[in-house]
Structures are given as C-alpha cells and as structure tokens.
Structure 1
Amino acid sequence: MSIRRPPPAERAASRRIVAAFLTGAAGAVGFAVTYVLGGDTRWEGVTLSVAFAGLAVGLSQWGRHLVPTGGYVEEHEGFAPPPFEQTMTTRALTAPDSPVRRRGLLAALGLALTALGAAALFPLRSLLPFDRVRPVRARTDTPWGPGVRLVDAGGRPLRPQDVPADTMVGVFPEGHVDAGDGPAFAVRLEPGRFSRQPSGGHLDGLAVWSLLCTHAGCPVRLYLRGTGRLLCPCHQSSFDLLADARPVAGPAARPLPGLPIEVGPDGFLRAAGDFTGPPGAGFWSRP
C-alpha cells in the first residue's frame, strides 16, 4: 500500500501547528526562567499567556485542517455509528497518512505539554513545606555579623564619638542599608543607670538594639530623652533601654534584640556578631 503524500495545504497546516507548539514550549520555558530569576509578575503573565496561546492555536489548527469533518447527524443517541463513519474513523486513526500518526506533530505537542508541565512545578515548589523553619531562620540570620561596620543612612561609617550622650542614632550594616531586617539604633546612656545590662553589651554606655518593634515590626523611632524609654508609634509599645530594652507598656512581649559591638582597628564601630534574637514581629519565633 503506497503512502499518500499530504497535499500542500495540509503540509502548510502541519508547519503552522508545529510552530504554534514550539512557541508554547518557548513560553513555558520563559515562565520557568522568569520565576527562577526573581519572579517579575508581568513577565510571568506574558510568558504563561504565550505558552497557553501556543497550545490553543496548535490544537485548534490541528482540529480544523487535519481532522476529517462532516455533517453527520444521528437520529437518536446511543446508536452505533454507521459503518462508513466507523471505517472513516478507523482510517483516520490507523492509516499510514493519518494526521494522528504524524510524528512531527505529536513530538511538538509532547514537547509543549512537557515544557508547560515542568514550568508549573516551579511555583508549586514555593507552596510545599520542604523547610518549615525557613521563616524563623530568615529572621535570625541578618546582614549583621562579626566585623560589619555600623554606618548611617548615607553609608558613612560611625565612630563612638558620633553618638552623643542620651541621643538615638539610626545605624545600618555596611553594604546593606536597605535590608529590611538590618535597621538598628545606637544610644549612649550612663552605665550606672542600667538596671539590667544590655544583651549585646555596651561600650562605656554606648549600646545598640534592633530598630524593629517586637510586636508588629514597626520602627521604634520615638526616644524620650532623659528617661531611657523608647516608644513605638504604631501601637504604643514602650521599651525601657535601661533594662535591656524590655517592654514596659503596649502589646509587645519581647525585648528588642541587642547587637554586640566593638571598635575596630580603624576606630570605627563594628558588630561583634548578629542580633541576640530575631528582630521584628514576635510571631516569627512561635512554633
């Protein structure tokens, strides 16, 4: 039995279908790459649209141009198809020139579906609890560490004399001024007034604590000079810096984590380690 060569119209349709499936596969790969590189939602939407559009166009073209159609009407549901319809269907599915058996089309469709399925696994990974302690670890590991210099908002390194007596100065880890869990503040108090030593220690009264309130993570910026008290403007939690920044009013339940500091060989203030506890909202520490 000789194999019938498809007419030019069918060959052109086959090429369009393959191109559509390959476009869908490229869109799926682009979605996966965009997700891995940071997840820009605009480009994720574009690439995912291209993936589904490629599949939709390829399948619609396949059904329109390569699958036999006819105006056949059955009198009643449930009757078996007429013999000529059965013969036509069998030929369409099993004949050597059947569009269903064209390897190029099936391979392109398989590639598009496989690429789309693989791309769907990337966002699925974010939903699975492979690491249940990740939020706690993320709050525990901050940009602070031994040797990291304390800088102001402009990135200028600070010396001990840059923190006047009874004055609050915002400080940040050098190179990570914009880090969300890095903001801290330095304040110089009279060492003899401490009823509880700062958890991070102090240098002749100079101590550093996290700037993030342990209730909801708001910045505690209101310092009441002379009292050693620090107030959170969001929910009015108050912290006593003379007692290691423990909360004395409001909903906060944890003291502000302290930051151990030292003076480096260059005379600038440096961290001697990370915060003594997770900075920010207290619910991150709950099991």
Structure 2
Amino acid sequence: MKRPRVAPAPPGVNRRIVLSFLASAAGAVGFAVTYGLGGQTQWEGICLAVAFAGLATGLAIWGRRLVPVGGYVEEHEGFTPPPGEQALTAAVLTAPDSPIRRRGLLATLGLALTALGVAALFPLRSLLPWDRARPVRALEDTPWGPGVRLLTADGRPLRPGDVPAGAVVGVFPEGGIEAGDAPAFAVRLRAERFTRPPSAGHLDGLVVYSVLCTHAGCPVRLYLKGTGRVLCPCHQSSFDLFADAQPVAGPAARPLPGLPVEVGPDGYLRATGDFTAPPGAGFWSRR
C-alpha cells in the first residue's frame, strides 16, 4: 500500500505553540505568587486568564496545524480504524516533523500543566485548619501597640499641641496607616466635664477613640462641640465623649473603643497599647 503523504506544517507553528505554553506557565506562576503575597482579586483573575488562554491557544494551534484532518467516511463506527487511517496516523507519528517529535512542544505543555496544577494547590491552604485562632486574632488585634506613634492623615507625627480644643483630628498608627480597623480620632475635652472617666485614660482632657461606629462599622465623622458627642451619619448613632463614648442614641449598643496614649521622649503622642475593645461592628467580636 502506498504510504500517505503528510503535508509539512506551516513555518513558525512550533514557535507559536511553545510561546503559548510558556505564557500559560507564566500566568500560573503569577497567580501562585500573587496569592502567596496576600492576594489581589483583579491580578489573580488576570493571571488565571493568561494561564488558561495560553494553554487553550497552544492546544488549538497544535490540533489545527499539526494534526491531520482525515477525509474518511464510515457507515458506522467500528472498533478498529480503517487501514488508510492507521497508515496516515503511523506516517504522522513517525515522520521527522511529527508533532510528538517536535522539540519543546511536549516539554512546554508539561510545564504549563504542571504550573497550573501547582498553582491550583495554593487556595487549598485557606481551607486547611492550620491556625483556627487566626481569624479571631485578626479581628481583635490592630496595628496599634506600645510605642506606636500617632500620625495625621498626611503622615506627620502628632504632638499634644496639634490637637486644639473643640476640634477632632484624625489619627493613624505609624506603619499601619492603610489598615482598615486602625483609624481613630483625637479630641481635647474639658476634663472636669467627664461624667465617666475614659477607660483608656486621658492627657489633660485629650482622648483618642476608634473612628469606626460599633453598629455597622461606618466612620463617625460628625462632632458636636457643645455637647461633646460624635454622630454616625449612616444610622444616626450618637456617642457621648464625656461618658467614655457610651452610645446615647441610635442602634449602636457598644461604646467606641478608646486608645491609651502618652507623650513619648520625643514629644510626640504614642500609643501604650491597643484599643480597649475590638473596633468596628459589634457582631465581629462575637464568638
């Protein structure tokens, strides 16, 4: 029987497939690295899209350009391929430019599949009970701690004199200004008007409290100087700063957590510990 002739593959096909598989492997590695560094949803999605797109593109080119499309018609499917198809397959697999003999194709395909498989194992880490107490600690601990300086929104250290009477100054922990549970505010009050001593203490009337409302975590932004109260604009909770930020109106049931502070040797305000209670919505602290 005459041996079927296999048409040569178009030039550059091998390189296109290799580049596709390498792009897939790079995407998988990028996903694993992004997830391992803490994760960022948009970049993880982009990396996975590149990984699967590269793999799909390489396999599509391989199947379309390197695997012959037979022109055989069978009445009904049999268990044994017809002789012509067997001869064509043998010719393709044994030819010098056979797809399975092309240098680098199988190796890069294996690399792409291996990288995807390894990257898929990374999310499993979140499901393993290696540290069951970690979520609880994440809710209870903030970047505040002994010796952490109070910074303004533009990153300047805060001195006691930078907090004028009757004004509220937003403060953030040094080294943790981006933390969502760390924002606080400092305000100077008349100490003789305290009906309940601040649980975190005060410096000649200067007190610091978490800015997160204990109802749903909205920022408490409105300060009524005459009454010494701060209001949450989301659900109208009101807190009395002269009574240790106890809630006096609205749905909030817990007082605002206080932050203990002192004046450091350099004259700047420093925290002496964390908030007196977990900041933010009250239901986060339930166990």
TM-score of the two chains, using structure 1 as the length reference: 0.79
- Matching residue of 2:169: 169
- Matching residue of 2:160: 160
- Matching residue of 1:80: 79
Q: Kindly report which structure 2 residues correspond to 1:178-189, keeping only aligned pairs within 5 A, or say none.
A: 178-189=178-189
- Which piece of structure 1 moves more, 27-36 or 249-258? 27-36
Cα distance change of structure 1 residues 233 and 91 upon mapping to structure 2, 3 Å threshold: same
- Matching residue of 1:258: 258
Q: Kindly report which structure 2 residues correspond to 1:39-188, keeping only aligned pairs within 5 A, or say none.
A: 44-77=44-77, 79-81=78-80, 83-84=82-83, 87-88=86-87, 91=90, 99-100=99-100, 104-123=104-123, 125=125, 131-188=131-188
Cα distance change of structure 1 residues 60 and 66 upon mapping to structure 2, 3 Å threshold: same
Return the alpha-carbon distance in structure 1 between the equivalents of residues 68 and 38 of structure 2.
46
Count of residues in correspondence between the two structures:
281
Return the alpha-carbon distance in structure 2 between the equivalents of residues 19 and 165 of structure 1.
66
- Matching residue of 2:227: 227
Return the alpha-carbon distance in structure 2 between the equivalents of residues 32 and 156 of structure 1.
37
**C-alpha contact (below 8 Å) 1:92/1:99 kept by paired residues:** no
Secondary structure of the corresponding residue to residue 270 of structure 2: strand
TM-score of the two chains, using structure 2 as the length reference: 0.79
Q: What percentage of residue pairs aligned between the two structures are identical? A: 74
Cα distance change of structure 1 residues 147 and 57 upon mapping to structure 2, 3 Å threshold: closer
- Matching residue of 2:239: 239
Aligned-residue offset at 1:89: 7.9
Return the alpha-carbon distance in structure 2 between the equivalents of residues 208 and 93 of structure 1.
78
Deviations 1:95-120 (A, max 9, x none): 69764577843332211111122233
Cα distance change of structure 1 residues 209 and 47 upon mapping to structure 2, 3 Å threshold: closer
Question: C-alpha root-mean-square deviation of aligned residues, in Å?
Answer: 3.5
- Matching residue of 1:25: 25
Return the alpha-carbon distance in structure 2 between the equivalents of residues 50 and 249 of structure 1.
52
Cα distance change of structure 1 residues 228 and 96 upon mapping to structure 2, 3 Å threshold: same
- Where does the alignment leave 5 or more consecutive residues of structure 2 unmatched? 1-5
Return the alpha-carbon distance in structure 1 between the equivalents of residues 81 and 267 of structure 2.
96
Alignment-mate amino acid for residue 115 of structure 1: A
- Where does the alignment leave 5 or more consecutive residues of structure 1 unmatched? 1-5
Aligned-residue offset at 1:34: 4.3
Aligned-residue offset at 1:90: 7.6
Return the alpha-carbon distance in structure 1 between the equivalents of residues 60 and 151 of structure 2.
61
Alignment-mate amino acid for residue 265 of structure 2: P
**C-alpha contact (below 8 Å) 1:93/1:100 kept by paired residues:** no
**C-alpha contact (below 8 Å) 1:171/1:186 kept by paired residues:** yes
